Amino acid sequence: MKPPKYTSLPTRFWDKVDKSSNGCWLWTAANGAGRWGSGIGRTGYGTFKIQGKPKRVHRLSACDYYGDLPKGMSVLHKCDTPLCVNPSHLYLGTHADNMRDMAIRHRARGGALPGERNGSAKLTERIVLEARQLYATGKYSQSELARRYGLVSQQTLQKAIVGKTWTHVKGGI
């Protein structure tokens, strides 16, 4: 496939891209380097300032190649490489598509793997189901249940009980 001709982004953008890596075109600007404010943000995505505002470089590349992005659409990576700006590795999706893709590829912040498969998990599926059932009886407060299990704070257990976390566990309330 012949690389596209870019006309709208300036040379200073494409000068910061290395096209020699296994198909990925990697953003190479150092964090905060230069007077143009190009770099890598704390989330690991490349940034490039336009009119004083930092923009994500993969979104700029997609706009440059595909045209204006529809309102509310995200730019996702097929290659799973946050610094890649190769338009053939980028595609449009909703925020929900992006979150689903992130979870499937185990790139979610804080551990990605659900439940007991997450090495940081202190609860078990059995405890979550039991806590949900006990709380549903109305006989126990979340604080009492947190003390009963002695593993996590009331806030953490509350999130598991109401299904903000441990969403893959069905049952209980």
Alpha helices, DSSP H, located in the chain: 11-14, 57-66, 95-104, 125-136, 142-149, 154-162
* Mean pLDDT of the 13-17 span: 87
Residue 171, token pair as written in the block = 């049952």
pLDDT in tens, 28-53: 886 554 444 567 777 778 888 888 78
Strand partners for 38: 33
8 A C-beta contact, residue 77 and residue 57? no
* Mean pLDDT of the 76-82 span: 88
Q: What confidence score (pLDDT) does residue 15 get?
A: 86
Q: Please, what are the domains in the chain?
A: 11-104 (3.90.75), 115-162 (no CATH)
What's the pLDDT band for 1 if we cut at 50, 70, 90?
Answer: very low
> pTM value?
0.56
pLDDT in tens, 95-145: 888 888 887 776 766 545 677 776 677 888 899 999 999 999 999 999 999
8 A C-beta contact, residue 59 and residue 65? no
Q: What is the mean pLDDT of the chain?
A: 81
Task: Measure CA of the first residue to CA of the last residue in the chain; give whole Å.
Answer: 53
Q: What confidence score (pLDDT) does residue 34 get?
A: 44
Cα separation of 167 and 164, whole Å?
6
How many other C-beta atoms lie within 10 A of the C-beta of residue 81? 19
